[in-house]
Amino acid sequence: MSIRTPRPNRRRRGRLLSAAAVACAAATAAAGLFALNTPEGAGTAAARPAAAQNAAAGNSAAAANAATLIWRDEFNRPAGTAPDSAKWNVEVNGDGGGNGELQYYTNRRDNLAHDGNGNMVITARKGNPGDYQCHYGRCQYTSGRMNTAGKFEHAYGRFEARIQIPTGQGIWPAFWMLGNDIGQVGWPACGEIDIMENIGSKPADVHGSLHGPGYSGGNPITGSYYHPQGWAFADTFHTFAVEWSPQSITWFVDGVAYQTFTPADTRGNPWVYDHPFFMILNVAVGGSWPGAPDAGTQFPQRMKIDYVRVYDLG
């Protein structure tokens, strides 16, 4: 299906979900890292102080021992093969995601493929070998995006991926989730959980956010996690996760809990994280938050995903 589900223009972070995906729904180590919440305007809720997260981290370790693995993709297929179609939908569009992004998401193997070394690789490239048309005219870049809509949707638990992110001005990798009722209620009423986002111009900084009614687009509930030495997250693999329960969502980097949000953080707006969500992995190029690539941005840029796993925490 080529019809898209309309969504409002989002000045930061969120990306448009194609109606094709909605239709499918219907049919490193922790040492040396620290958490820091950075105010980013009125939309930034106060994340719990790092010291207050120690108990959460300990509880997470205990929970992990009792957790039940309910879904996984280890990406162990041969080099050059497509994502497992039983688990993933590959999105194809150049609509800009509601953020003015510059890439065309293709189903080509040079944008989205296993590498034969246990990774799924999403590659952003400069150029347009397919003469693709984007919302602004002839596309300048290609990339990849895949989601689990209609194939795996789940409420609550631990959602985790081990990823080596790309870098560079204008590069925007993300591991995130949308509510499976987006086709019925739209965005942001469906809810969005951003497990990990980065803009390549700030390589030592990753973000975790919530978007919902009254706190979306440029005004999310959000916090950030920094590497204290300023080392780039792109230098090696890191594990990004959330642990989601009916009354809270906690974000982790390499096993360290750095923020928790609850219904008290929504500023009186609805807490819409009470139904199944599906997962999304993508690398955007450009857009209103990161800005366009510049002369210093090197292409291709690759996001390598070692695994994605989901646990029931009981």
d(C-alpha 215, C-alpha 203), whole Å: 26
- Name residue 238's beta-bridge partners: 163
Number of domain units in the chain: 1
Q: How much is the pTM?
A: 0.84
The per-residue pLDDT for range 1-51, each reduced to its tens digit, is 222 233 333 334 444 444 434 433 333 333 333 333 333 333 334 333 333
- Name residue 212's beta-bridge partners: 215
What pLDDT was estimated at residue 10?
39
Our answer to whether residue 40 is catalytic in this structure is no
Question: Over the Cα atoms of the chain, what is R_g?
Answer: 18
Q: Evaluate whether residue 97 is within a structural domain.
A: yes
**Residue for token pair 């750095």:** 258
The per-residue pLDDT for range 251-303, each reduced to its tens digit, is 999 999 999 999 999 999 999 999 999 999 999 999 999 999 999 999 999 99
d(C-alpha 54, C-alpha 237), whole Å: 23
Mean per-residue pLDDT, 219-230: 91
At 91, the pLDDT band (50, 70, 90 cuts) reads very high
What pLDDT was estimated at residue 64?
53
Q: Evaluate whether residue 176 is within a structural domain.
A: yes
Residue 56 has pLDDT above 60, yes or no: no
User: What value does the mean pLDDT of the chain take?
Assistant: 85
Our answer to whether residue 243 is catalytic in this structure is no
Host domain of residue 61: 19-312
What pLDDT was estimated at residue 65?
62
Q: Evaluate whether residue 11 is within a structural domain.
A: no
More confident residue, 58 or 199: 199
Q: Evaluate whether residue 12 is within a structural domain.
A: no
Q: Evaluate whether residue 25 is within a structural domain.
A: yes
User: 308: closest CA among 72, 28, 67?
Assistant: 72
Q: Evaluate whether residue 286 is within a structural domain.
A: yes
Q: Evaluate whether residue 213 is within a structural domain.
A: yes
At 314, the pLDDT band (50, 70, 90 cuts) reads confident
Residue 265 makes CB contacts below 8 A (sequence gap 6+) with: 45, 46, 210, 221
| Contact indicator for 207, 196 with CB cutoff of 8 Å | yes
CATH assignment of the domain containing 61: 2.60.120.200
Exactly one of 91, 153, 160, 197 is catalytic; name it. Answer: 197
Exactly one of 101, 153, 192, 243 is catalytic; name it. Answer: 192
DSSP 73-98: E---SPTTPPP-TTT-EEP-B-SGGG
Mean per-residue pLDDT, 218-242: 94
Tally of helices (H runs) and strands (E runs) in the chain? 3, 20
Q: Evaluate whether residue 4 is within a structural domain.
A: no
